[in-house]
Structure 1
Amino acid sequence: MAAVEERRSAALALDPEEARRARGARLERVGRWLLPILIMVAAVWLWDRLCVWNEIPRYILPRPGVVAATLITDRALLFSSLLVTLRITFLSLLLAVFGGVGLAILFTQSKWVEMSFFPFAIVLQVTPIVAIFPLINIYVDNQTAKLLLCSWIVAFFPILSNTTLGLNSVDRNLLDLFRLNGASRWQQLRLLKLPAAMPYFLGGLKIAGGLSLIGAVVAEFVAGASGQSSGLASRIIEAGYRLNAPRLFAALFLISLTGILIFLALSLVSHLALRRWHESALSAER
């Protein structure tokens, strides 16, 4: 038996088609990380050379080294503002998760509730936040509550919509099997519908994670908040007024980096939650 397995392994090792596929898989794994890094390095180098070749003043377009130096010299101000933005982002995302999942469960338990309230969720989603904010500004006194509400409105709908779709996409044969075995509505929800909706919820969560950051930044732009307890959007506005382009680019860099890290973190959570049973994660591991 061992000899047969050894000959089979040797045949596979000598198979040119199998070897070509193995090389292609290795190259794809390396290229998935290497190519974006190389492109980013090339873009930064080109940015720096354009500033040098055209002698562009730093108050119009600073060189990458100047932006990096600004990140260090202004780190106390920038990172304190980053914490404010992150607080609004994660609080709004947390509220969007609880509100979106809770309302989606209500929708699946009662079609009357879904028909009554889903149009209001659509109205909130399709109405620009800059149009809603004047009303929020009238009725809400607390500045943090204003920003939190604006960011929540932006992040809420993807979770609600995706989770509702997942809960309604349960295999009808399995649902009939649960009913034939006398499962209660709570048992159907807990043992069948919620696990089936998990991939949809996680997909909506990845979308909502980025939207909550966008909503927090846009809300602060619209609110025009200022002062030491302000977020990164206020630093961008302030730097624009003062023609402090290096600080403006540094704040933009922190916002972009934060968005990338949020997406990667939520993608990791999705992969860890689905890798042992869902086809989307299983195919990624092959």
Structure 2
Amino acid sequence: MLTPALKQPQTLPRWSRSLLSADVLAPVIVGLLILTSWELAVRLTHTPAYLLPGPILILQTLARDWPQLLPSWWVTMKIAFTALVCATVSGLFVSILFSQSKWIERSFFPYAVLLQTTPIVAVAPLIIIWLKNNTFAALVVCAWIVAFFPIVSNTVLGLNSTDPSLVNLFKLNRANRWQTLRYLRLPAGLPYFLAGLRISGGLALIGAVVAEFVAGTGGTQSGLAYQILMAGYNLQIPRMFAALVLITISGIGIFVALSALSHALLKDWHASAVRHEN
């Protein structure tokens, strides 16, 4: 007698499995608990909105003031994105230059460190004065200063961490500098570069907001920092928190997008992007 064929267990689609994974569920649950506790604490203690608004009021304010906040959000994101692109291109170029000459690296790397250690709040007014005819360019330069160093530092480390045995193998096969860079050093340094890029993504957004605070630009070219300043001056604290929520969500979105890019480029060959079953 023939036995009936066993039914194969139905598997969930890939997108639903990713949404139900611990990497997504764990932070979502923690976030909901924090927001719930925040809302309950505000309501039970009768904290006035001008001191600390609850999450529900912040979301209501965000929905109400969205037409005014959206243009400011777009201005801030344009500054951050432009600065990130400039930092990526210039950082990668400088890193390759450093990796090709130890003399150049020893001579100029301290000045890259100098950009990182200089408080952007202190130099932003000077940059804005120097580029007074182009406020957007001044804000981009300020954000670029903040985002530049992590890319240089991580990429130089990656390019210099190439396996010496593989470098010697390329030399034995008479590979020139360009071939060694293209086929060995750049692939070896790619994970380090992407790690620096994820850091610089958030720093570019921070640099853009700080530069906007210093510049204090208004009108149609005002960013979210200006909206925060004006809301604070007028004691519109829920609106100030709504602008902060937009900045936070944008930062998370930048990090998630760059993490997805990193995973897409490394998933087939690098250990950091390969999932291992416990």
**TM above 0.5:** yes
CA RMSD, Structure 1 to Structure 2 (Å): 1.5
Opposite residue 267 of structure 2, the aligned amino acid is R
Residue 110 of structure 1 aligns with which residue? 101
Paired residues for 1:82-161 under 5 Å:
82-141=73-132, 142-161=134-153
Residue 268 of structure 1 aligns with which residue? 260
SS at match of 2:151: helix
SS at match of 1:153: helix
CA-CA distance at 1:137 after TM superposition? 2.6
Deviation digits for residues 43-84 of structure 1 (CA, Å, limit 9, x no counterpart): 111221222212222222222222111111111111111100
Residue 60 of structure 1 aligns with which residue? 51
Name stretches of at least 5 consecutive residues in structure 2 with no aligned partner: 1-16
Residue 36 of structure 2 aligns with which residue? 45
Residue 209 of structure 1 aligns with which residue? 201
State which drifts further: 158-167 or 275-284: 275-284
| Greater helix share, structure number | 1
- Judge conservation of contact 2:125–2:215 (CA < 8 Å) in 1: no
Distance in 1 (alpha carbons) for counterparts of 2:221 and 2:131: 19
CA-CA distance at 1:285 after TM superposition? 6.9
Distance in 2 (alpha carbons) for counterparts of 1:45 and 1:255: 21
Distance in 2 (alpha carbons) for counterparts of 1:53 and 1:283: 44
Paired residues for 1:150-229 under 5 Å:
150-229=142-221
Residue 74 of structure 1 aligns with which residue? 65
TM-score (norm 2): 0.89
TM-score (norm 1): 0.87
Name stretches of at least 5 consecutive residues in structure 1 with no aligned partner: 1-25
- Judge conservation of contact 2:125–2:214 (CA < 8 Å) in 1: no
Opposite residue 40 of structure 1, the aligned amino acid is G
State which drifts further: 268-277 or 62-71: 62-71
- Judge conservation of contact 2:84–2:144 (CA < 8 Å) in 1: yes
Distance in 1 (alpha carbons) for counterparts of 2:219 and 2:233: 14
Distance in 2 (alpha carbons) for counterparts of 1:284 and 1:199: 18
Distance in 2 (alpha carbons) for counterparts of 1:188 and 1:55: 66
Choose from 235, 241, 244 the match for 2:236.
244
SS at match of 2:69: helix
Aligned residues: 259
Paired residues for 1:11-30 under 5 Å:
30=21
